[in-house]
Amino acid sequence: QYRLPKIKDEQVLQLVKEYNHKDHPKTLLIIEDDLLFLNKIARLLSEAGFNVLKSHRGNLGLQIIDETLPDCILFGVDLVDITIEELIEKLKRKVSDFFVPIIAIGDKNQTKLIEKIKFETDDSLLKPFIMDDLFLKVMRLTDKALRMKNQVNIDELTGIYSRKFMMERLEYYLSNHNEKQFVHSVAIFDLDYFKHVNDKYGHSVGDKVLVEFTKFIRGKIRNTDIFARYGGEEFILLMPRTEEKNAWKKLNSLRKEFSNLHIKVGDKVIQQTFSGGIASAQANINNPVEILNLADIALYVAKNNGRNRVFI
């Protein structure tokens, strides 16, 4: 068969270790059904400081992405349980909004196949390759992805919009001539007693709860809604063309449903609630800051009335 990858240049290894150290380690998902190969490159990547997720099946790999959004995905082009076309299509549907690069790995005799999928993937590697090549490709692509995320204002931890982007959109809805004839609503929500989660389980479990929270909300809102991280454990949901009362109904049902959710983080099961405040753009209030202030006041009232509730 082919030779397993080797590291040639210690300098490259040093570089990639520093790269993973500097921010936080990058998470890589490897989907490959050759177990010998999978385990070997997984070990080499771990040694270089990457956080490695492994899957020996395509469908399992897709499932893993739902739990943990990786920073980069490597996949073999001839998996037993899924065609390459289907795998790429599903991968892209799950990750392309979040700028997760995907790298195809094929055998030397699969150059035709690699060529065929060239435009669907960010890069490719042919076996046998050396790890340096893989490291350099991953560093280049994840670095570029990070820059793009910052440009479009995606929050790093949760993958949802940043405060800046939300403010821009809110500004648009309040000033656009065509949109002015509609009522637009804004909700601010803040997780209840979130400090306790960090104190009890640690910050990284807290992070995971934030990610699960955003996933839950994202799955329940309309395409036109803008869901953003306002900061820390505070979030904004901008609901264009939504009356205040309907916005309240929506947020309140999200609140109820979320409070019943059992969030699994490792072997822990966590229940979390949030409080929310709603405000709407109306004739007399039309600047973003003013509306957010009103929503914030409503949130404050919700907190003071016992939390796990939504006020207007």
Residue ranges that bind ligand GH3, judged by CB under 6 A: 157, 190-195, 198, 203, 206-207, 210, 232-233, 303, 307
- Collapse the DSSP code of 147 into the 3-class scheme (helix H, G, I; strand E, B; otherwise coil) and give the result: helix
Compute φ and ψ for 299, nearest 5 degrees: -65, -45
Residue 4 DSSP symbol: P
- Is the Cβ of residue 46 or residue 304 nearer to Mg ion in the bound state? 304
For 188, residues 6+ apart whose C-beta sits below 8 A from its C-beta are: 230, 234, 235, 236, 276, 277, 292, 295, 296, 298, 299
Q: Could you give the CA distance from residue 219 to residue 258 in angstroms, rounded to a whole number? A: 12
Query: Binds 215, which of ligand GH3, Mg ion, none (CB < 5 to 8 A, cut-off by type)?
Result: none
189 binds Mg ion (CB under 5 A): no
* Cα 289–chain centre separation: 27
CA dist., res. 80 & res. 2, Å (int): 19
Q: Which of these is catalytic: 10, 85, 156, 233?
A: 233
Question: Residue with the closest Cβ to ligand GH3?
Answer: 206
Q: Is 86 a catalytic residue?
A: no
Asked if residue 190 binds Mg ion (CB under 5 A), the reply is yes
Residue 311 beta carbon to ligand GH3: minimum distance, rounded to whole angstroms: 14
CA distance 303 to 299: 6
Two tokens, residue 57 = 């099946």
Pick one of Mg ion, ligand GH3, none as the site partner of residue 198 (Cβ within 5 to 8 A by kind): ligand GH3
State both tokens at 18: 């520093």
Say which entry of ligand GH3, Mg ion, none residue 139 contacts (CB below 5 to 8 A, set by partner kind).
none
Q: Which is nearer to ligand GH3, 143 or 199 (CB)?
A: 199
Cβ nearer to Mg ion, comparing 191 with 211: 191
Choose which of 161, 189, 194, 258 interacts with Mg ion (CB under 5 A): 194
CB 52 within 8 A of CB 138: no
Give the residue numbers marked as catalytic.
Answer: 233
Positions in the binding site for Mg ion (CB under 5 A): 190-191, 194, 234
